[in-house]
């Protein structure tokens, strides 16, 4: 590795309390998305925040293209951080891709996580025969061609200009965050995410889970929340937030905090 993981991924611990809480952000954002949620939990938890290696806020030199080819190295990073901090047990809140990472992490280290809270989560984004993940093949192709156009431009010294608004409306809100990173990293990470399929391992999760979904997140259909509830191995509840959008921690922090508090107390 050759660098200090805690520094590289901007690991911070804030708050005071006897229990640990990990807040893990999704693609295209960084730990600052939690800033409106934080004040409500700092009195009662020691909160651990970090940035994913692909986040725009992390030195892009740390993104090893040979290493981060699947979600497993991201899980390694999370587990290494918790090990370095000496954490034996924590609750975990993960948004979007971090929800996927949390699921995989708890399968590997079942004793480590007391509760998994999954916001805007999906085990697989691409639609399948009987499964509605939210993205049609054609829509994914549009997303990738926008990313590829950016990559081409960037590599050749031109300006990468494709943004979230250039993809089909149905998947726009989710995709918008994908363009908030360097073009080569975005393309690579998007491929990783769209190639991931966690449906087969959901049953291996033993930890209690809470799936939080907004009433209308176009690219994560309501059926996905139900799918998760019925396939996750531990005791799982579903909470639907009466709002729209893929980033409830930014748009409705107060509402989300209420739901989080409830979920953490059970």
Partner 1 sequence: MAVTSSDTHFLDIPDVVLTIIFSLVADTRTRNAMSLVCLKWHLLERSTRKSLTLRGNVRDLFLLPTCFRAVTDLDLSLLSPWGHPLLDSFPNPLLLAQFLRHAFPSVVSLTVYVRNPSTLHLLAPQWPDLRHIKLIRWHQRLPTLPLGIEFVALFEHCRMLSSLDVSHFHCWTEDLPPAIQAYPMLAASLSQLNILKHSSVEGFKSHELLAITASCPNLRELLATCIFDHRFVGFVSDETLLALASNCPSLSLLHLVDATSLSNVRPDLNDDGYTSEDASISRSILCDVFAGLPLLEVLVLDVCHNVRDAWPALELLNSKCPRLKSLKLGQFHGICSGVDSRPDGIALCHGLESLSIKNSADLTDNSLEAISLGCPKLSKFEVLGCKKISAKGIRKLTHVLRNTLVDVKISSCKNLNVVSLLQTMEPIRDRIERLHIDCVWKNADNSVKQTASSNGETRLKKKNKSRDNSFCSRTWSKLQHLSLWIAVGDCSGERRPCTGSLGLRYLARYPSLSRMLLDCSGVIGYGLTAPPGYPDLSLWERFFLYGIENLNLNELNYWPAQDMDVNQRSLFLPAAALLAQCGSLRKLFIHGTANEHFMMFLLRIPTLRDVQLREDYYPAPENDMCTEMRAESCRRFEDALKSINRHIPD
As annotated, the active-site residues are 96, 217, 246
| Residue 221 binding partner 1, by CB under 8 A | no
CA distance 86 to 263: 25
Q: Which of 6, 42, 44, 56 binds partner 1 (CB under 8 A)?
A: 56
Q: Which of 87, 244, 255, 258 binds partner 1 (CB under 8 A)?
A: 244
| Residue 208 binding partner 1, by CB under 8 A | no
Decide: 181 and 56 in contact? Cβ < 8 Å: yes
State the nearest-atom distance from the C-beta of 109 to partner 1, in Å: 26
| Residue 77 binding partner 1, by CB under 8 A | no
Interacting span for partner 1 (CB under 8 A) from 131-139, 180-188, 197-205, 229-237: 180-188
| Residue 16 binding partner 1, by CB under 8 A | no
| Residue 181 binding partner 1, by CB under 8 A | yes
CA distance 141 to 139: 5
CA distance 170 to 256: 23
**Which helix (DSSP H) or strand (DSSP E) does residue 59 occupy?**
none
| Residue 200 binding partner 1, by CB under 8 A | no
CA distance 50 to 10: 6
Site residues for partner 1, window 126-155 (CB under 8 A)? 150, 153-154
| Residue 40 binding partner 1, by CB under 8 A | no
Q: State how beta strands 45-50 and 12-14 pair.
A: antiparallel
CA distance 201 to 188: 23
Phi, psi (5° rounding) for residue 172?
-65, -45
Alpha helices, DSSP H, located in 44-96: 72-84
Interacting span for partner 1 (CB under 8 A) from 48-56, 100-108, 117-125, 232-240: 48-56
User: For 95-115, b where at least 16 C-beta lie within 10 A, e where not — what string?
Assistant: bbbbbbbbbbbbbeeeebbbb
CA distance 215 to 30: 24
Q: Which of 2, 169, 265, 266 binds partner 1 (CB under 8 A)?
A: 169
Q: Given the rule CB under 8 A, which residues bind partner 1? A: 7, 10, 12, 28-32, 34-35, 49, 51, 55-60, 150, 153-154, 157-161, 163-165, 169, 172-173, 176-177, 179-183, 185, 216, 218, 244-245, 247, 250-251
């Amino acid at each position: 590795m050759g660098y200090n993981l805690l520094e590289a991924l901007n690991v911070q611990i804030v708050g005071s309390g006897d229990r640990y809480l990990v807040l893990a952000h999704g693609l295209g954002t960084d730990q600052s998305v939690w800033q409106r949620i934080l004040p409500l939990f700092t009195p009662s938890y020691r909160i651990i925040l970090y940035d994913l290696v692909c986040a725009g806020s992390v030195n892009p030199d740390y993104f090893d293209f040979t290493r981060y080819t699947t979600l497993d190295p991201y899980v390694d990073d999370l587990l290494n951080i918790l090990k370095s901090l000496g954490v034996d047990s924590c609750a975990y809140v993960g948004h979007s891709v971090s929800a996927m990472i949390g699921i995989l992490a708890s399968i590997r280290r079942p004793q480590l996580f007391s509760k998994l809270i999954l916001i805007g989560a999906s085990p697989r984004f691409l639609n399948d025969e009987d499964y509605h993940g939210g993205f049609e093949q054609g829509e994914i192709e549009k997303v990738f061609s926008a990313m590829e156009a950016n990559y081409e431009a960037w590599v050749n010294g031109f300006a990468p200009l494709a943004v979230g608004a250039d993809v089909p409306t149905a998947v726009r809100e989710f995709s918008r965050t994908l363009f908030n990173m360097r073009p080569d990293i975005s393309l690579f990470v998007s491929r990783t995410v769209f190639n991931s399929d966690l449906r087969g391992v959901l049953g291996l999760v033993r930890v209690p889970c809470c799936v939080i979904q907004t009433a209308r997140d176009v690219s994560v259909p309501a059926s996905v929340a139900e799918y998760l509830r019925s396939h996750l191995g531990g005791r799982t509840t579903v909470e639907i937030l009466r709002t729209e959008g893929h980033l409830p921690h930014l748009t409705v922090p107060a509402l989300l905090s209420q739901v989080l508090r409830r979920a953490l107390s059970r």
